Amino acid sequence: ATKAVTVTQDSLLNVCMDAKHHKTEPGPEGQLYGQCVLWKDNACCTANTSLEAHQDQSYLYNFNWDHCGAMPEKCKRHFIQDTCLYECSPNLGPWIEQADTSWRKERIRDVPLCQEDCEQWWEDCQDAVTCKLNWHKGWNWTTGTNQCPKGAMCQKFKFVFPTAAALCEQIWSGSYRYTSHHRGSSRCIQMWFDPTQGNPNVAVAQYYA
Protein backbone atom coordinates (compact mmCIF):
# COMPACT_ATOMS: atom_id res chain seq x y z
CA ALA A 1 0.00 0.00 0.00
CA THR A 2 2.84 2.35 0.85
CA LYS A 3 4.21 1.94 -2.65
CA ALA A 4 0.87 2.93 -4.21
CA VAL A 5 0.70 5.99 -1.95
CA THR A 6 4.21 6.99 -3.02
CA VAL A 7 3.32 6.67 -6.69
CA THR A 8 0.24 8.85 -6.23
CA GLN A 9 2.29 11.40 -4.34
CA ASP A 10 5.00 11.44 -6.98
CA SER A 11 2.46 11.97 -9.73
CA LEU A 12 1.41 15.18 -7.94
CA LEU A 13 4.95 16.45 -7.57
CA ASN A 14 7.01 18.12 -10.26
CA VAL A 15 4.31 18.03 -12.95
CA CYS A 16 2.94 20.34 -15.63
CA MET A 17 -0.79 20.65 -16.20
CA ASP A 18 -2.26 19.74 -19.56
CA ALA A 19 -3.12 23.23 -20.76
CA LYS A 20 -2.63 25.56 -23.69
CA HIS A 21 1.03 26.57 -23.38
CA HIS A 22 2.51 24.17 -20.84
CA LYS A 23 5.40 21.83 -21.61
CA THR A 24 4.60 18.13 -21.16
CA GLU A 25 7.08 17.89 -18.33
CA PRO A 26 9.13 20.37 -16.31
CA GLY A 27 12.81 20.98 -16.87
CA PRO A 28 15.46 23.72 -16.87
CA GLU A 29 14.94 26.79 -19.07
CA GLY A 30 18.01 28.94 -19.46
CA GLN A 31 16.37 32.11 -20.68
CA LEU A 32 13.13 32.76 -18.84
CA TYR A 33 12.11 36.39 -19.09
CA GLY A 34 11.54 39.04 -16.42
CA GLN A 35 9.39 38.03 -13.48
CA CYS A 36 9.24 34.41 -14.64
CA VAL A 37 12.99 33.96 -14.10
CA LEU A 38 12.31 32.46 -10.63
CA TRP A 39 11.41 29.18 -12.31
CA LYS A 40 14.32 28.89 -14.76
CA ASP A 41 15.92 25.90 -12.96
CA ASN A 42 12.75 23.84 -13.36
CA ALA A 43 9.87 25.22 -15.38
CA CYS A 44 6.68 24.18 -17.15
CA CYS A 45 6.90 27.23 -19.42
CA THR A 46 9.14 27.98 -22.38
CA ALA A 47 11.19 31.16 -22.75
CA ASN A 48 8.70 32.37 -25.34
CA THR A 49 5.75 31.89 -23.00
CA SER A 50 7.58 33.76 -20.25
CA LEU A 51 8.19 36.70 -22.59
CA GLU A 52 4.56 36.79 -23.68
CA ALA A 53 3.41 36.74 -20.04
CA HIS A 54 4.74 40.30 -19.79
CA GLN A 55 2.95 41.75 -22.82
CA ASP A 56 -0.12 43.94 -22.36
CA GLN A 57 -1.83 42.20 -25.24
CA SER A 58 -0.26 38.78 -25.15
CA TYR A 59 -0.94 36.06 -27.71
CA LEU A 60 -1.14 33.59 -24.79
CA TYR A 61 -4.85 34.29 -24.34
CA ASN A 62 -5.40 37.64 -26.14
CA PHE A 63 -6.29 38.96 -22.72
CA ASN A 64 -6.19 42.71 -22.17
CA TRP A 65 -5.42 43.93 -18.63
CA ASP A 66 -6.34 47.46 -19.66
CA HIS A 67 -10.02 46.77 -20.40
CA CYS A 68 -11.12 49.69 -18.21
CA GLY A 69 -8.20 52.02 -18.91
CA ALA A 70 -4.53 51.52 -18.15
CA MET A 71 -3.82 49.19 -15.24
CA PRO A 72 -1.21 50.73 -12.90
CA GLU A 73 2.21 49.08 -13.17
CA LYS A 74 2.34 48.19 -9.47
CA CYS A 75 -0.89 46.23 -9.95
CA LYS A 76 0.05 44.71 -13.30
CA ARG A 77 3.17 43.11 -11.86
CA HIS A 78 0.96 40.88 -9.68
CA PHE A 79 -0.98 39.69 -12.72
CA ILE A 80 2.29 39.03 -14.54
CA GLN A 81 3.50 37.08 -11.49
CA ASP A 82 0.21 35.19 -11.35
CA THR A 83 0.67 34.29 -15.04
CA CYS A 84 4.28 33.19 -14.43
CA LEU A 85 3.21 30.98 -11.51
CA TYR A 86 0.39 29.44 -13.56
CA GLU A 87 2.46 28.85 -16.69
CA CYS A 88 5.85 27.99 -15.16
CA SER A 89 5.39 26.34 -11.76
CA PRO A 90 5.92 22.56 -11.56
CA ASN A 91 4.58 22.63 -7.97
CA LEU A 92 0.82 22.91 -8.51
CA GLY A 93 0.12 19.17 -8.88
CA PRO A 94 -2.00 18.71 -5.73
CA TRP A 95 -4.50 21.29 -7.05
CA ILE A 96 -4.76 20.23 -10.69
CA GLU A 97 -8.19 19.01 -11.78
CA GLN A 98 -9.89 18.20 -15.08
CA ALA A 99 -11.18 21.17 -17.06
CA ASP A 100 -13.70 20.87 -19.81
CA THR A 101 -12.76 23.77 -22.08
CA SER A 102 -11.53 24.03 -25.64
CA TRP A 103 -8.21 25.57 -24.61
CA ARG A 104 -7.12 23.36 -21.73
CA LYS A 105 -7.77 19.90 -20.33
CA GLU A 106 -6.66 20.73 -16.80
CA ARG A 107 -6.86 23.69 -14.45
CA ILE A 108 -5.90 24.52 -10.88
CA ARG A 109 -8.39 24.98 -8.05
CA ASP A 110 -8.02 26.18 -4.44
CA VAL A 111 -4.25 26.65 -4.55
CA PRO A 112 -3.50 27.93 -1.01
CA LEU A 113 -1.86 31.32 -1.51
CA CYS A 114 0.26 32.83 1.24
CA GLN A 115 -1.50 35.62 3.07
CA GLU A 116 1.16 38.22 2.24
CA ASP A 117 1.03 37.48 -1.49
CA CYS A 118 -2.73 37.88 -1.59
CA GLU A 119 -2.83 40.99 0.64
CA GLN A 120 -0.10 42.71 -1.37
CA TRP A 121 -1.90 41.93 -4.63
CA TRP A 122 -5.05 43.54 -3.28
CA GLU A 123 -3.16 46.46 -1.77
CA ASP A 124 -1.41 47.30 -5.06
CA CYS A 125 -4.54 46.80 -7.17
CA GLN A 126 -7.29 48.35 -5.05
CA ASP A 127 -7.38 51.51 -7.20
CA ALA A 128 -7.08 49.69 -10.53
CA VAL A 129 -10.33 49.50 -12.48
CA THR A 130 -12.31 46.55 -13.85
CA CYS A 131 -15.86 45.69 -14.89
CA LYS A 132 -15.94 42.02 -13.90
CA LEU A 133 -15.70 39.81 -10.84
CA ASN A 134 -14.73 36.56 -12.59
CA TRP A 135 -12.21 37.14 -15.37
CA HIS A 136 -12.49 33.60 -16.71
CA LYS A 137 -15.81 34.10 -18.44
CA GLY A 138 -18.50 36.46 -19.63
CA TRP A 139 -16.36 38.85 -21.67
CA ASN A 140 -17.30 40.26 -25.04
CA TRP A 141 -14.75 38.69 -27.43
CA THR A 142 -16.17 40.01 -30.73
CA THR A 143 -13.02 42.06 -31.43
CA GLY A 144 -10.73 39.10 -30.68
CA THR A 145 -9.71 40.49 -27.32
CA ASN A 146 -11.73 40.74 -24.11
CA GLN A 147 -13.95 43.79 -23.70
CA CYS A 148 -16.41 44.59 -20.95
CA PRO A 149 -19.80 43.02 -21.55
CA LYS A 150 -22.60 45.39 -22.46
CA GLY A 151 -23.91 47.30 -19.47
CA ALA A 152 -20.99 46.33 -17.20
CA MET A 153 -19.68 49.30 -15.25
CA CYS A 154 -15.99 49.97 -14.76
CA GLN A 155 -15.18 50.50 -11.09
CA LYS A 156 -12.24 50.28 -8.73
CA PHE A 157 -11.06 46.86 -7.60
CA LYS A 158 -11.81 47.74 -3.98
CA PHE A 159 -15.53 47.97 -4.82
CA VAL A 160 -15.55 44.85 -7.02
CA PHE A 161 -13.33 42.90 -4.59
CA PRO A 162 -13.88 44.34 -1.09
CA THR A 163 -11.23 42.11 0.49
CA ALA A 164 -7.97 40.44 -0.49
CA ALA A 165 -9.69 37.06 -0.13
CA ALA A 166 -12.43 38.13 -2.58
CA LEU A 167 -9.81 39.13 -5.15
CA CYS A 168 -7.69 35.99 -4.90
CA GLU A 169 -10.58 33.55 -4.76
CA GLN A 170 -13.03 35.06 -7.24
CA ILE A 171 -11.02 36.60 -10.07
CA TRP A 172 -10.01 33.25 -11.63
CA SER A 173 -13.07 31.23 -10.55
CA GLY A 174 -11.59 29.61 -7.48
CA SER A 175 -8.08 28.90 -8.79
CA TYR A 176 -6.65 30.32 -5.56
CA ARG A 177 -7.66 30.06 -1.93
CA TYR A 178 -6.85 32.79 0.57
CA THR A 179 -5.06 31.40 3.63
CA SER A 180 -3.77 32.75 6.94
CA HIS A 181 -0.51 30.86 6.36
CA HIS A 182 2.62 32.93 5.99
CA ARG A 183 5.49 32.85 3.54
CA GLY A 184 8.12 30.36 4.57
CA SER A 185 5.62 28.22 6.50
CA SER A 186 5.68 25.45 3.83
CA ARG A 187 1.86 25.50 4.03
CA CYS A 188 1.11 28.00 1.28
CA ILE A 189 2.20 28.68 -2.29
CA GLN A 190 4.28 31.82 -2.83
CA MET A 191 3.78 33.77 -6.03
CA TRP A 192 7.03 35.57 -5.21
CA PHE A 193 10.25 34.09 -3.81
CA ASP A 194 14.01 34.52 -3.92
CA PRO A 195 15.32 31.88 -6.35
CA THR A 196 18.79 32.00 -4.78
CA GLN A 197 17.20 30.45 -1.68
CA GLY A 198 15.59 27.67 -3.72
CA ASN A 199 11.92 27.25 -4.58
CA PRO A 200 9.82 27.17 -1.36
CA ASN A 201 6.81 25.76 -3.22
CA VAL A 202 8.45 22.34 -3.63
CA ALA A 203 7.95 21.68 0.10
CA VAL A 204 4.37 23.01 -0.05
CA ALA A 205 3.42 20.61 -2.84
CA GLN A 206 5.00 17.74 -0.89
CA TYR A 207 3.04 18.66 2.22
CA TYR A 208 -0.32 18.70 0.42
CA ALA A 209 0.43 15.68 -1.79
pLDDT of residue 1 exceeding 80: no
Residue 54: partners with Cβ closer than 8 Å, 6 or more residues away: 33, 34, 35, 36, 80
pLDDT of residue 4 exceeding 80: no
Q: Which residues share a beta bridge with 140?
A: 147
Residue pair 179/168 in contact by the 8 Å Cβ criterion = no
Q: Hey, what amino acid is at 53?
A: A
CA dihedral 81, 82, 87, 91 (to 10 degrees): 100
Give percent of the chain with pLDDT exceeding 70. Answer: 96
pTM, to two decimals: 0.92
pLDDT band at 121 (very low <50, low <70, confident <90, very high): very high
What's the whole-number mean pLDDT along residues 165-172? Answer: 97
